[in-house]
Structure 1
Amino acid sequence: MGVFAKSCTTCVLLASLSISACTSTSSTTSSSPVDALQLTSSSAPLSGGGALQVVKELPAPQDTQNGNEQPLSPNDVLEVNVFQVDNLNRTVQVDAGGQISLPLIGTVTAAGKTVRQLEQEIETAYGVNYLQSPDVSVYIKESIGQRITVDGEVTKAGIFPVSSNSSLIDAVALAGGFNAVGDAKKVFVYRNIGTNTLVANYDVEQIRAGKSRNPRIYGGDKIVVFASKSKIAMNNLKDALGVASSAARLAVVPGL
């Protein structure tokens, strides 16, 4: 009977701690703006103009060609190589006006063009008066426009460089994955399209399982991982059980 009573007391303690943890979580964890937006409507005005719109899938940025390549931006650092003409090779930075300066041909507008477009323009410029069938390669060494922000419940939030074919899974990996309360089902990607900001919710568990498409990530995207309420409740429960267990051990120490 004593064992039975003790067992029942433990069950009641677990139940009460669980309810307390859930109550504590719901009172301290507010709904995110995206959660609220999904409950009310598919869009909401932004203070700076435009609107925040919830979409199922994010379109590619407007300044990409069929979603394949982003244009160069001011402050990007480029390496320009002319095949078999080493004295024309240069590492240059796109200036605030979007231009670069190269030997013989002078200034060339780079911002707003893709790497391939810039290569072709430089080849044409050198081919007019200086070289016969020039072969020019342009490489991006540093790209301001090719950076993303990863925030929320990840191991290391921050700003990270991305390549031209980075995916959402790659972005999560750059941030060290989810932390203890991060919810793989609540990964929101924000993207500026014109004056509007579009946001879509992706389930990384489904993506990893091969059940959903792994979306491409573009420079300028912001990825936010929200917390799992159930994980927070479980952590609160574990903490509460730890406190209760410590108190029980102290109670049996003689003299206390």
Structure 2
Amino acid sequence: MIRKFCLAALVLATAACGGGPPELGQAPNVAYVQADAMPAPVNGGEGYVYALGPMDKISVEIVGLPDMRRDITVDGQGFVSIPIAGAVSAAGLTPTELAGVIEERLRARYVRDPQALVNLVEGNSNVVTLEGQVRQPGLYPLRSETTLSQAIATAGGEDDLAKISIIILQRQVDGQEYIGLYDLQAIRYGNYADPIVYPGDTIVVDESRSRRTLDTFQGITNLLTTPLIILSRQL
């Protein structure tokens, strides 16, 4: 849930938007961030890469050893069990990286020139949360690069009562909380870029409590031309 002090700061910041970054002197625990600078997660800066996690389903094949082909589910601790190679930690690795680890294990067990192939069959660990007035709120896996509007569409789109002029995107990066306010209609009109979403993000589409808080203030009028990004400092 969005913290109330963050919401108040967001409103103050938007009201201050005129010709440059708003002043947030009244709120020392928040800071304005350049509008196009919603940071990617530390491991997401070079484009979207799927890192394996618990409950992901993968296929593993050792070239030349057809009997070793397996469809495997990563367990709750992030491990997979591979014949000959044994238990291998898969959490945080891409399928290609996991294949390399399996090959190293097989070499250590005297398999000559092993070539492992690992493919994602069903991604369940890299999820984004959609809340509020979407048709199907819940957790949705991200299997490839996905934008904010695409993520909302995955949840069936906004419902008939949604106020899409205020879309809230929350993200944790390196222990800090970033909050972005976007106008979905402005994105659809091409007024500004459709931001990429990442695993762990929370998207709130006109969530009722946030709307009631926001609507008590004035000045949220500039999201048609630029998004608003706020960094919440933990004091």
TM-score, normalised to structure 1, is 0.64
The equivalent residue for 1:66 is: 46
**1:212 counterpart (175, 184, 192):** 192
**1:224 counterpart (204, 222, 232):** 204
- Aligned pairs, how many? 194
**1:138 counterpart (112, 119, 127):** 119
Contact preservation (8 Å) 2:123, 2:143: no
Higher CA-based Rg: 1
Q: For the structure 1 residues 206 and 158, does the alpha-carbon distance in structure 2 shift closer, same or farther, using more than 3 Å as the test? A: same
1:175-186 to structure 2, matched below 5 A, reads 175-186=155-166
Higher helix share: 1
The equivalent residue for 1:191 is: 171
Instruction: Point out where structure 1 has 5 or more consecutive residues left out of the alignment.
Output: 1-31, 46-50, 233-256
Rounded Cα–Cα distance in structure 2 between residues aligned with 1:33 and 1:188: 15
Rounded Cα–Cα distance in structure 1 between residues aligned with 2:30 and 2:151: 22
Matched, 1:98 2:78: yes
Contact preservation (8 Å) 1:62, 1:194: yes
Rounded Cα–Cα distance in structure 1 between residues aligned with 2:27 and 2:43: 24
Rounded Cα–Cα distance in structure 2 between residues aligned with 1:160 and 1:43: 37
Contact preservation (8 Å) 1:54, 1:200: no
Instruction: Point out where structure 2 has 5 or more consecutive residues left out of the alignment.
Output: 13-23, 216-235
Cα displacement (A) at 1:150: 0.8
Seq. identity, %? 27
Q: For the structure 1 residues 99 and 135, does the alpha-carbon distance in structure 2 shift closer, same or farther, using more than 3 Å as the test? A: closer
Rounded Cα–Cα distance in structure 1 between residues aligned with 2:188 and 2:63: 42
Cα displacement (A) at 1:135: 4.2
TM-score, normalised to structure 2, is 0.69
Q: For the structure 1 residues 193 and 80, does the alpha-carbon distance in structure 2 shift closer, same or farther, using more than 3 Å as the test? A: same
Matched, 1:171 2:125: no
> Which structure carries more relative contact order (alpha carbon 8 Å, separation 6+)?
2
1:1-256 to structure 2, matched below 5 A, reads 34-40=6-12, 41=24, 55=33, 56=35, 57-64=37-44, 66-127=46-107, 129-132=110-113, 134-144=115-125, 146-226=126-206
Contact preservation (8 Å) 1:78, 1:93: yes
